[in-house]
């Protein structure tokens, strides 16, 4: 893994831990269809983590990734939810939630925290 990929992966895992504090599901392995799964609540969560100072707070999921998520959710009877973790500073973090869609801006999502 290149240095930039390692940094992005670490930031992504940090966002997953923050989101799981609200969800309390199982954080999955790297490359799993969903980042967190709660089989009791029957929900698969896709977590996207980003800097609050990014030029555009927009989420896009590729066609292949979305197809994998739909297939997995159908197989296990899961609803699909998107969580955005926006980090402004170590003490200012905002969490947003919506139904899982392929493309959405954070300001179109419901703020959780």
- The 10s digit of each residue's pLDDT in 65-102 is 999 999 999 999 999 999 999 999 989 999 999 999 99
For the chain, what is the domain count?
A: 1
Return the pLDDT at 62.
96
- Per-residue tokens: 58: 């927009």
More reliable by pLDDT, 5 or 86: 86
- The 10s digit of each residue's pLDDT in 28-39 is 988 899 999 999
Indicate the pLDDT class of residue 1, thresholds 50, 70 and 90.
low
User: Whole-model pTM?
Assistant: 0.89
The enclosing domain of 26 has a CATH number of 3.40.1350.10
Domain containing 99 equals 3-111
- Mean of pLDDT over the chain: 91
């Amino acid at each position: 893994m290149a240095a930039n990929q390692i940094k992005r992966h670490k930031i992504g895992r940090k966002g997953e831990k923050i989101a799981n504090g609200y969800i309390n599901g199982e954080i999955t392995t790297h490359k799993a269809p969903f980042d967190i799964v709660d089989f009791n609540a029957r929900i698969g969560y896709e977590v996207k983590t980003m800097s609050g100072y990014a030029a555009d707070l927009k989420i896009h999921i590729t066609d292949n990734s979305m197809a994998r998520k739909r297939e997995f959710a159908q197989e296990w009877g899961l609803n699909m939810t998107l969580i955005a973790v926006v980090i402004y500073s170590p003490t200012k973090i905002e969490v947003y939630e919506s139904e899982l869609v392929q493309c959405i801006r954070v300001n179109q999502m419901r703020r959780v925290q």
